[in-house]
Structure 1
Amino acid sequence: MPLKKPIVAVSLREQVYNQLCEAIMRGEYAPGDVLKISAIAEASQTSLVPVREAMQNLAAEGAIEMLHNRSARIPLTSREDYRQLTAIRMNLEGMAAEEAAANLTDADIDDLVRTNAGMAEAVMTRDTEKILPWNREFHFTIYDRARSPILSRLIKTLWLRAGPILNASLTGSVDGMSLHHTGLAEHEAIIEAARNRDAAALKAKIMEDIFCASTWYVKYYDFERI
């Protein structure tokens, strides 16, 4: 289970919700995976109530589908749904990158370099547990600097839908390391645009990164099983 740390603070529902969000966005669950409330409560060392409430919140956002047997399922996504999801992501994340450009600090650029280096090491060593977390941290380092809570919430919702599909690059029958090598090169171009605070270039490179990744999933992901 992806929830390994005990829940100890006051808002149990919020903590379980945040941990589940992180796990879903990092691709720790695949489409069709079933999440049992009792198993998550045991893993997070809390009761059933905050887990159920957290999962109800995720269901309202479309990230999971509640089932009748005290469990939930990661939604399946059709090829057409994924194409639409990609198009929306390109527009919203491109917008966030454009807004973020002027707000990026030197420390932010250092963070982008650091996270991309972490991802590169994970790809080189085939450390599949770390590739997607590094990738997510890289992207949200930029998006958070847009200083738009509404935009951030919308992007998070899109990643909750896209995250489980990312799992296919690490667990599918086709080796996805070529995808992540390409992603690292795309990230270098993003870093250069960020370093120059070039809003138009940063928007274009973010959109290109999303599109290039989507072509791999459209080609290799088994949408037909849906």
Structure 2
Amino acid sequence: MLDHREGASGGGSQETAHARVHAGLKEALMNGDFLPGQRLVVRQIAERFRTSAMPVREAFRQLVSDEALFDHPNRGVIVPEATVARISELVRVRCSVEGTAAEWATSTISPEEIEELADINERLHRCVNGHALADYLTLNRRFHFMLYGAARSPMLQQIIEKLWLRAGPLLNIVRTDAAYVFGLIHHDEMIDGLRRGDSQAVRRALVADLSEAADIILRAAAAPVPLQPRPASPRRRAPRGAGK
């Protein structure tokens, strides 16, 4: 559906729309809004972001280049499948890279940032205790990226973001109360290690968090069951013409 207000103003507004769609799709992928193997339809994504097809296609091309999406010869653009080989390699790389970020963050994080992490984690506990899991993955991403941001390494942050673009849809599989509780135990351990300045304890807890989630994902990938994508939150709908 062509948005004439974007099309009429030329390339600049198309670039703005592309940036908005690209940022929105990245957030959706990292939050686990899409499932492994799910086909993304240009028209549906354009309607979601209230734009024309061109910015969506440009965003798709960029995400395919980053290997966050895959251009299937028969099915079109899809979220990459959850294969055992792909999951195994991804978790090994994530444990190494994200473990390093967690270790570095221990010596550079501020007391205020630690308390903010603790506040996010308390909200995660409330989600699990109240069986209100819809926002869990979003809060979980916020927790992890705040920790990684405290490492004060923009280069490391960019690498981690690309890893999460590939990992986010896999987190859709880890959608049980028990799986979330195990993750929160490791979050508690990370916060405790940060407060004590124990970088190795923080790294161990982070690696355990990623590894246990990967074990659940691997078991599900070996014996897949039908899953439904997470519904898009209304607040993720950007107003027409809004740039970001």
SS in 2 for 1:11: helix
Structure 1 residue aligned with 2:16, among 2, 8, 11?
11
- Name the CA distance, whole Å, in 1 between partners of 2:104 and 2:117: 17
Does structure 1 retain, via aligned residues, the 8 Å contact 2:190–2:205? yes
Which secondary structure does the structure 1 equivalent of 2:40 belong to? strand
Distance apart, 1:53 and its partner CA: 1.0
Name the counterpart of 1:204: 204
Residues of 2 paired with 1:155 and 1:50: CA distance? Answer: 25
CA distance in 1, matches of 2:109, 2:89: 29
SS at match of 2:115: helix
1:135 aligns with 2:140: yes
Q: Which residue of 2 aligns with 1:180?
A: 180
Deviates more, 1:42-51 or 1:196-205: 196-205
- Structure showing greater radius of gyration is 2
Secondary structure at the residue paired with 1:66?
Answer: strand
Match of 1:118 among 123, 127, 131: 123
Aligned counterpart, 1:146: 151
Q: Secondary structure at the match of 2:164?
A: helix
CA contact (8 A) 1:16 1:54 kept: yes
Letter in structure 2 aligned against 1:133: T
Provide closer, same or farther for how the CA distance between residues 198 and 22 of structure 1 changes in structure 2, counting only shifts above 3 A: same
Of 13, 25, 44, the match for 1:39: 44
Could you list the runs of 4 or more consecutive aligned residues of structure 1 that deviate by over 4 angstroms after TM superposition?
Answer: 67-71
Contact 2:35–2:170 under 8 Å retained in 1: yes
The answer for unaligned runs of 5 or more in structure 1 is 1-7, 171-175
Helix, strand or coil for the counterpart of 1:129?
A: coil
Among all aligned residue pairs of Structure 1 and Structure 2, give the percentage whose two residues are the same amino acid: 32
Give the aligned CA root-mean-square deviation in angstroms.
2.0
- Residue 198 (structure 1) shift: 2.1
Q: List aligned pairs for 1:1-226, cutoff 5 A.
A: 11-67=16-72, 71-170=76-175, 176-219=176-219, 221-223=220-222
Contact 1:37 1:70 in 2 (8 A): no
TM-superposed deviation, 1:68: 6.3
Q: Does the residue aligned with 1:126 lie in a helix, a strand or coil? A: coil
* SS state at 1:204 partner: helix
Would the aligned equivalents of 1:13 and 1:50 in 2 still touch at CA under 8 Å? yes
Gaps of 5+ in 2: 1-12, 225-244
CA deviations over 1:159-183 (Å, ceiling 9, x no partner):
111111110122xxxxx21010111
Aligned-residue offset at 1:119:
1.1
The answer on whether the counterparts of 1:116 and 1:184 sit within 8 Å (CA) in structure 2 is yes
- State which drifts further: 21-30 or 196-205: 196-205
